[in-house]
Amino acid sequence: MLDPVADQRPENDFARMDYERDRKGPPEGFPNLPDIPGSRYVDPEFLRMEKELMWDKAWLYAGHTDQLPNPGSWFVTRNPGAPIIVARNLEGEIKAFYNTCQHRGAPLVKEEAGESRGFVCGYHGWSYTLDGKLTSVRDKRDFVDLDFSCRSLISVRCELLGSLIFINQDPEAQPLIEHIGPMAAQLEQFELDTLRLVDSRSYDVECNVKVLLDAFLEVYHLKSIHIDTVDRFLDHRAMIVTLWPHGHSRMATPNRRPDWVDPGTVGMPEIPSITDFPAKNNVSYQIYPNFVMPPAPTGIPILQFWPLGPKRARVVSSWLAPQHDPENPHPLWEKRLSNWERILYEDLQFAPQIQESLESPGFRSMPLNYQERRIYHWHEELDRRIGLNRVPEHARVQQVLGDWVQQD
């Protein structure tokens, strides 16, 4: 019998792929995954708890440090559901605040990005520093005992993962690096602090966000919707999965030919410290709940999946790369981004129709297989974040994968 945790360690990755390719069934001891209740995708009360107790308390990717090139640079993100300013202060530190004046709630900035030495509310002229401190108000004489120190902008937790900016609306949240746990050590090889932003674009889709997330947590679908693209070079039957605490996970799928190299990237600058395994296989990291990153030696796409409502979602697709010059990009990038978008559209094509089906009497629950265990792991974590005692019994997911989660 395989040890469900020890065999997930990096030194066993190649052997694990051989095992997965040759196995005749799930490994001994793997649990029968109970169905995922369909109500989790459509029930208004469940979705309200999901938003309040999971999304509003999660570490979420906000942007790249290239978007804040100078002291005073700022941009606004609305994807978390509330408008949040992310700014670089005069000392070069990155801060985040709600775009909400502490007088009567007017926005401090109306553009999507800019550069300034502070923020001035356009409604009544209250002024704040780049650190969010209130510095002046119009007609101060008319306020009785106004304490400036109590009227700073409401800050949002903001931490860096290399050059990636993450925010969290929960002031009590565990520090980001601690939160991602064992994944942090594996990400060091990608030198995230040195990578430049190449491209970012978004796609709105008419479906619940979990419909999209599910598709990027498995490769069971490759032979159906990626027949002429990804399935030509990836061997989905040898895919391996590593489950980590807090819902994070990693999936690695080998190339059909060990010596295969993407011809569209030959000659592009590479990350010098990347190790053999991610360089020669399709590895995809997931930071819970909505960040997916499949790194390659010559560039790293990062995807985020955002809920815009019960039946609407947004996919944000960005690319990072080593030695990228925005003024003189490598000539292969145009073709590479086009190919990536083609694959992305393949993944998104059925989502609106799936949403229709989820709302019909024809859908009650999801029976997941061993290949799809990352989806089940994701849902287990959702219930833990909501609170097992809060999730209605009819929508609850049983906690059965604990023995298969690598703790360190």
Tally of structural domains, the chain: 2
Residue 170 falls within a domain, yes or no?
A: no
- CATH number, position 348: 3.90.380.10
What residue numbers bound the domain in which 10 lies?
A: 6-57+178-404
Q: Provide the b/e sequence for 244-265 (b: ≥16 CB within 10 Å).
A: bbbbbbbbbbbbeeeeeeeeeb
Pairing of strands 240-243, 73-77: unpaired
Extract the residue ranges of the chain whose pLDDT is less than 70.
1-7, 9-10
Q: What pLDDT is recorded for position 1?
A: 40
Q: In what order do the strands lie in the sheet with 164-168?
A: 60-64, 164-168, 157-161
Show which of 97, 129, 164 is a domain's final residue. Answer: 164
142 and 193 housed in the same domain: no
Give me the sign of the Cα torsion angle 350, 238, 278, 257.
Answer: negative
Do 239 and 285 fall into the same domain? yes
Structural domain includes residue 173: no
Q: What is the pLDDT of residue 7?
A: 65
**From its phi and psi, is residue 145 left (phi > 0), alpha (psi between -120 and 50) or beta?**
left
Residue 256's pLDDT is 84
Q: Specify whether 346 is located in the same domain as 378.
A: yes
Element (H, E) at 345: helix 333-348
| Assigned domain for 328 exists | yes
End of a domain among 164, 195, 219? Answer: 164
Q: 138: exposed, middle or buried (C-beta count within 10 Å: 0-12, 13-18, 19+)? A: exposed
The answer to the question of residue 160 being in a domain is yes
Average pLDDT value for the chain = 94
In a domain, 104, yes or no: yes
* Helices vs strands, H then E, count in the chain: 10, 19
